[in-house]
């Protein structure tokens, strides 16, 4: 019954994730077919916004794939996907400006961005080690210390839950970072004359659809975190 309840809660969020991914692709495809009035590509947009904001130490590069755009702060790179780099569409400049929004967050010391950056190592560690530690902890309790209980097994389970919680916290902090980057992007696009007020709704649809994928990922991660936490707490109570 517990597992059935878990599935009933999880399935709508998985469906939301699939819908959000489809929405991103459809919104991008629709507005990638609409040229912006300034005839600027994603690359042109990124370069102009960096220069206008006094950022001189960030390179703009092309990377393989579609919608694989990202900002790499350590390498000081804004990497634009093939679908964004050379396209002069409303969608392309929206995505490029969003990545420059992240650059400005770092430059200005935007607090949620700093928190997310600090959580990156723990989030990466949690995503790799959380599940193995939880499983090993439960196996130690069941197989090796039946009847007496194992502090080692319990601590491994608790550590796994804590690491998974860090990964979930990272996703939570990511939401304001992504929404803020999109807000910055829309303002910069209009103030620099890259998009007109009439073109801006198209950019908003692309950026809003992308943001929904982060919401869906957070909800799924939170459901799994609560599921694992309940399993471990229930198991330790019985022990």
**Do 182 and 211 meet the contact criterion of CB atoms below 8 Å apart?**
yes
Query: Cβ neighbours of residue 157 under 8 Å, at least 6 residues apart?
Result: 133, 134, 137, 138, 141, 232, 235, 236
Q: What is the pLDDT of residue 232?
A: 75
d(CA 35, CA 167): 39
Q: What is the pLDDT of residue 7?
A: 81
d(CA 116, CA 107): 15
Sheet holding 59-63, edge to edge: 59-63, 77-81, 70-72
**Do 94 and 203 meet the contact criterion of CB atoms below 8 Å apart?**
yes
187, 205, 18, 218: which is closest to 116 by C-alpha?
Answer: 218
* Catalytically annotated residues: 99
d(CA 44, CA 185): 14
Q: What is the pLDDT of residue 136?
A: 67
Q: What is the pLDDT of residue 86?
A: 95
78, 95, 85: which is closest to 41 by C-alpha?
Answer: 85
Tens-binned pLDDT, residue by residue, of the chain (239 aa): 677 887 888 899 889 999 999 999 999 999 999 999 999 999 999 999 999 999 999 999 999 999 999 999 999 999 999 999 999 999 999 999 999 999 999 999 999 999 999 988 877 776 676 667 666 666 665 655 555 555 666 777 778 778 888 888 999 999 999 999 999 999 999 999 999 999 999 999 999 999 999 999 899 888 888 888 887 777 766 66
**Do 195 and 36 meet the contact criterion of CB atoms below 8 Å apart?**
yes
Q: What is the pLDDT of residue 6?
A: 78
């Amino acid at each position: 019954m517990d597992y059935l309840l878990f599935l009933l809660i999880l399935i709508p969020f998985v469906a939301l994730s699939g819908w959000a991914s489809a929405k991103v692709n459809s919104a991008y495809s629709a507005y990638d077919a609409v040229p912006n009035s300034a005839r600027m590509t994603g690359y042109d947009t990124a370069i102009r916004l960096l220069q206008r904001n006094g950022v001189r130490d960030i390179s703009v590069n092309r990377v393989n794939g579609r919608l694989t755009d990202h900002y790499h702060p350590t390498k000081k790179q804004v990497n634009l996907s093939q679908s964004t780099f050379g396209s002069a569409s409303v969608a392309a400049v929206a995505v490029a400006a969003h990545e420059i929004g992240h650059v400005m967050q770092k430059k200005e010391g935007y607090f949620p961005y700093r928190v997310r950056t600090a959580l990156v190592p723990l989030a990466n560690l949690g995503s790799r080690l959380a599940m193995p530690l939880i499983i090993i902890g439960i196996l130690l309790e069941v197989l090796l210390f039946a009847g007496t209980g194992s502090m080692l097994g319990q601590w491994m389970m608790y550590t796994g839950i804590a690491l998974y919680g860090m990964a979930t916290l990272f996703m939570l902090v990511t939401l304001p970072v992504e929404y803020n980057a999109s807000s910055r992007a829309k303002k910069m696009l209009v103030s620099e004359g890259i998009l007109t007020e009439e073109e801006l709704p198209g950019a908003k649809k692309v950026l809003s659809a992308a943001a929904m994928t982060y919401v869906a990922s957070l909800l799924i991660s939170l459901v799994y975190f609560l599921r694992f936490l309940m399993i471990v707490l229930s198991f330790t109570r019985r022990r």
